[in-house]
Each structure stands twice: as C-alpha cells, then as structure tokens.
Structure 1
Amino acid sequence: MENKHIIPLFLRSGKHIPNNPDLPLMLYKQVFTDQKNLENKFKASFAEHNWRGTWTNGVFDYHHYHSTAHEVLGVAAGSATIQFGGPEGEKLEVKAGDMVILPAGTGHCRIKASRHFTVVGAYPAGQEKYDICTEEDDAEAKKRQIAQVPLPATDPIEGANGPLLQYWQAKNSRSSFILG
C-alpha cells in the first residue's frame, strides 16, 4: 500500500442494524495514489491475497449488511457518501483510490454518488456465499451468525502481515474508536 492512512471506526449497534460488536470498520485512504486502472489494481490485489467472489458495481441505496461474511469495497472510480452503521450511523466520503473493509454485520447504504462511482467488492476466501440482510431481518438472530464469522487470513492489499489483521486482533482498544 502506497499510503498508510488508515482509520478504524467502531459503530454502535442500531435498532435494526447490528453492526459488529468486536471489530472496527477500516477505512484506508488512497490505497493507490496512481489513479490509473484502479479497478484492475483492486481486483489483482484482492485475488493475490485470497479475497474472492469479486464483483464490480456500486453500493445499494438502502441500508443492508452481511451476517455471514466480511466485505471489502475498493473505490475504482468517482466518489460517494456512504452511511455506515445504519440510519443512526456515520456518513463518510469515499473517492477513487480509497478502500473500506466492513466486518460482518456492518450496515452500509449509498446516500449520494458521482455519476461514474464504481466499487470493486470481495470477501475473504470461504465467505463468498454472503447473505444480504436489511432492517426487516431479526438483528438479534443475525448477531449469532455474525459472531461465528471467522477473521480473514489476510489483508486485501498487504496480505498476511497487513494492517487489517493487526487492528482486528487488537479488539481491546475499541473504546477509543467508537462512533455513532
């Protein structure tokens, strides 16, 4: 990763969106400073570090989360405001070159986006068959599934020694990162 500006954010559980009680959302700012071929760069890095089920599209414009998988979103083009954590959550601006890693249970919803906003998404190996949960799902029941999702073996950009694993294994420092 060319720039190591990483922001960990814990999000409080909402009324209908559980978020993750143990793991922070990880916002990596400007993973690739060279903006050429970002889609291919994200796809190649995700594949190299065993993040699978890669897709290219946008982010849904309704609050949703995954209770069976962690997810990475690499912003390949444009910019957007995405609300993380559900209707009570945090609105963050992301732009081409940024990346967000969502622990299982983290709500996300596109609020607004530029015309060509595009993300590359993927999931840790073995978690490619993710579910899509909404505010209509039983958040308490989903929390049990979220607790069973294993940590990824690698950071989607830096592999086995990447910052994701360091942050997600340091669960005891959570109080300094809580937002929402």
Structure 2
Amino acid sequence: MPVQADATPWQAQAPATRQFDDDGRTPNSVLPVLHYRPGQSLEEGEALAQQLEALFHANEWPVQWRGGVFGFHHYHSVSHEVLGIFRGSATLMLGGESGERVTVQAGDVIVLPAGVGHCRLEASRDFTLTAGYPPDQQDWDLCRSGEDDIAAARQRIGFVGRPAADPLLGREGALPQYWR
C-alpha cells in the first residue's frame, strides 16, 4: 500500500525539477528529474537509510543496492531510478557532459527518468545512497554516454513505462503529476 504524502519530511515542498535535452551522447528524457530536499534537518546514517528504503518499498520502488554514483557519465535505458542519499554529500553532474552540477546531501532524494545522464564529480568520504527501481524495471542496464548505441538506447527508453507512484510520497506525490 503506497505511503500517503503526509507521512514524510519531504512533503513540505514541491521537488525541484530539471529537464535535459538529448545531446547526441546522452539521450536524457522528456520527463523531468525530481530533486526532493527534506523540509527539516534529518540525522544522517542507518536510520535515514532504513526510512528511505521503507518508503521506496511501500511506494513500489524496491531497493536493489547501496553505494555511491559512478565517476563516469552514464544512464539507464530500461529503467527509471531513485537515489536516496543517507550519508555525506556529493556534487553530481546530471544531464550528460554538458548538463548541470547539482549538490546533494543526506536526506536528498533524486528521481531519474530513464535516459538521464548522471556522474559523480566529487563526494565526501562517507557519501552513501540507497537506490531503487519500479518493480517492472528491476533489470536495469548501464549505458556509458558516448560509448553505447544511442539510437538503440532511445528506442528502449521509449518503451519504459511510467510508475504509478512517487517513490517517497506515493500516488499523491509529485511524480504522477510531473510525469503525465
């Protein structure tokens, strides 16, 4: 059962959105990236990881791994991805090599549509996140910007379904509205 929007510290404000055009090396997406920041200070660490993972699971974005973000430009052509930062901070590049630098810290959640490039530029030693994918997209791929067949990737991205629920706020969250 999806978690209701009033159940989390992320419901206080709408997520920041970013949209990136296909640059010929990274397909990006017609759907916006959603960047949630909590409306209050959160204690980072294992308790935050467990809270994020419980929300992702409850809202039909099962978690598959914990770790960081690769230090090379890449994207996923068969899945959307949610990243929940639970420790440390980092500067990411979203949208490919000519995209946008975005600073993230513990408590931030980034929802990446299929095709959106991402890369870690800098990170604190303790930077750690948890990552999930919609249930019908558990077999995510790893495509390197400028190296993989972008035409084939664009085709695969066109077949990726849109999830019914926001990973943090459920069916009443921003994702179903922004990703219509």
TM-based fold match above 0.5: yes
> Contact conserved, 2:14 with 2:174, CA < 8 A, in 1?
no
Q: List per-residue Cα deviations over 1:21-72 (Å, max 9, x = no partner).
A: x200111112664325111111110111111242110000000000000000
Superposed displacement of residue 126, structure 1: 1.1
> Contact conserved, 1:75 with 1:97, CA < 8 A, in 2?
yes
* 1:34 pairs with 2:42: yes
Ranges in structure 2 where 5+ consecutive residues have no aligned partner? 1-7
SS of 1:92's equivalent in the other structure is strand
Count of aligned pairs between the two proteins: 168
> Contact conserved, 2:90 with 2:105, CA < 8 A, in 1?
yes
> Contact conserved, 2:92 with 2:103, CA < 8 A, in 1?
yes
Ranges in structure 1 where 5+ consecutive residues have no aligned partner? 170-180
Q: Which residue of 1 aligns with 2:123?
A: 113
The alignment's TM-score, normalised by the length of structure 2, stands at 0.89
CA distance in 1, matches of 2:42, 2:122: 25
**Aligned residue type for 1:148:** F
Q: Which residue of 2 aligns with 1:23?
A: 31
**Aligned residue type for 2:31:** L
CA distance in 1, matches of 2:171, 2:96: 30
Superposed displacement of residue 76, structure 1: 0.6
> Contact conserved, 2:61 with 2:167, CA < 8 A, in 1?
yes
CA distance in 1, matches of 2:36, 2:95: 17
CA distance in 1, matches of 2:133, 2:39: 18
**Runs of 4+ with deviation above 6 angstroms:** none
* 1:100 pairs with 2:102: no
Q: Compute the RMSD of aligned alpha carbons.
A: 1.3
CA distance in 2, matches of 1:32, 1:98: 11
> Contact conserved, 1:31 with 1:99, CA < 8 A, in 2?
no
Percent identity for Structure 1 against Structure 2: 41
Q: Which residue of 1 aligns with 2:20?
A: 11
1:13–1:162 distance in 2 versus 1, CA, 3 Å: same
CA distance in 2, matches of 1:104, 1:60: 16
Which structure dedicates a bigger proportion of its chain to strand?
1
**Aligned residue type for 1:146:** I
